């Protein structure tokens, strides 16, 4: 689970600060206080500060502390989206973004987000965002925003899977695992994750498959701001998306020497949903080759509404 590749090596899984005061309950789940603490931490890093001394459309944000010192990719994606949203009329929600991870981010150093206003048309607005550290981009992203409009409407139906309340949480599944990094992550992650198939953190899957599904939602209610929910959804979309690549080959996250890094990430928002309500993340890997794996995902509301589609390619090196 540690990544040390020199290029495009933004962590693909968020392991927050190993605070020794963190407590878990008898099942291994974070206590209610720590669940709220983890969510508050996420909201804090998404609350970017304007940097008028650097330019009109320049912002700065902190990072979630990481034991390995590398910024979680979902965090910088979400922050870049927040920066772009700050320069667009609130009546134009995001409908797509495409980003490339260019360098590893240092979680101990603030990130600068420079926004370029590419276009403001009658219906669409486009923004380019560079996330910068030490004067160099760690992420380059373009996002597009649109005034709501009517038109043709269809969607791939949600698959039939067990409801989230019938599934054990990830904390319950991993409660007995003797791994400090997993324990730290369990204590601080801001989302409840419930795998439909057994997770691959430690145990090799009994059935090799290129598909999986994960229920997810934030541990507590979020403010009623659609832009914030879109950003949290972008954050969450990077949690488990490359797992189908590993699952297809019986590779676990804890395999010694495994090196995984996000290379790019694309996301399309189809319909508004809340990130603090149960969402089903359906994922599949159509291809892996050349030390790269591709995964595609669809995010559904619990009522079957298709909310978003996601695509990501990652570098995956297995010893």
Q: Identify the architecture of domain 32-149+166-317 in CATH.
A: Beta Barrel (2.40)
The pTM of this model reads: 0.89
Confidence band, pLDDT 50/70/90 cuts, at residue 86: very high
Of 106 and 4, which is predicted with more confidence? 106
- Of 286, 290, 300, 295, the C-alpha closest to 313 is 295
- Give the Cα separation of 161 and 196 in Å (integer): 7
Q: Are 203 and 179 in contact (CB under 8 A)?
A: no
Q: Are 115 and 124 in contact (CB under 8 A)?
A: no
**Residue 69: left if φ>0, alpha if ψ -120 to 50, beta else—which one?**
left
Phi then psi dihedrals of residue 139, to 5 deg: -150, 135
pLDDT at residue 25 tops 60: no
Residue 121 CB burial class (10 angstroms; 0-12, 13-18, ≥19): exposed
Confidence band, pLDDT 50/70/90 cuts, at residue 10: very low
What are the residue numbers of the active site? 238, 262, 312
Domain boundaries, the chain: 32-149+166-317
Quick: pLDDT tens for 131-172. 999 999 999 999 999 999 999 999 999 999 999 999 998 888
Write the DSSP string, 160-217: ----GGGS--HHHHTTT---HHHHHHHHH-SEEEEESSPP-SSSPPSS--SEEEEEEE
Confidence band, pLDDT 50/70/90 cuts, at residue 202: confident
Quick: pLDDT tens for 232-278. 999 999 999 999 999 999 999 989 999 999 999 999 999 999 999 99
Q: In Å, how far are 55, 179, 239 from 253, measured between CA atoms? A: 41, 12, 12
- Percent of the chain past pLDDT 70, that is, above it, reads 87
């Amino acid at each position: 689970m540690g990544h040390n590749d020199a290029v495009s090596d933004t962590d693909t899984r968020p392991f927050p600060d190993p605070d020794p005061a963190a407590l878990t309950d008898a099942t291994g789940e974070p206590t209610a206080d720590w669940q709220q603490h983890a969510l508050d931490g996420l909201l804090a890093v998404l609350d970017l500060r304007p940097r008028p001394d650097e330019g009109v459309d320049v912002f700065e944000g902190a990072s979630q502390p990481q034991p390995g010192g590398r910024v979680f990719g979902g965090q910088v994606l979400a922050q870049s989206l927040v920066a772009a949203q700050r320069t667009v009329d609130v009546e134009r929600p995001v409908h797509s973004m495409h980003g490339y991870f260019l360098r590893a981010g240092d979680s101990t150093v603030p990130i600068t987000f420079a926004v370029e206003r590419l276009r403001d048309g009658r219906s669409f607005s486009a923004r380019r965002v560079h996330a910068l550290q030490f004067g160099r981009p760690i992420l380059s992203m373009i996002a597009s925003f649109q005034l709501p409009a009517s038109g043709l409407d269809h969607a791939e139906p949600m698959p039939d899977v067990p409801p989230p309340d019938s599934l054990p949480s990830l904390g319950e599944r991993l409660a007995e695992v003797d791994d400090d990094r997993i324990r730290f992550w369990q204590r601080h992650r801001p989302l409840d994750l419930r795998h439909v198939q057994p997770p691959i953190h430690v145990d090799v899957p009994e059935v090799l498959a290129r598909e999986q599904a994960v229920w997810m939602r934030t541990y507590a209610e979020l403010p009623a701001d659609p832009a914030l929910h879109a950003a949290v959804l972008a954050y969450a979309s990077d949690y488990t998306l490359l797992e189908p690549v590993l699952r297809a080959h019986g590779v676990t996250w804890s395999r010694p020497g495994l090196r995984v890094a996000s290379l790019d990430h694309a996301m399309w928002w189809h319909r508004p949903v809340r990130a603090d309500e149960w969402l089903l993340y359906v994922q599949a890997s159509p291809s892996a080759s050349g030390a790269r794996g591709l995964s595609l995902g669809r995010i559904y509301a619990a009522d079957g509404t298709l909310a978003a589609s996601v695509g990501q390619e990652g570098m995956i090196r297995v010893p």
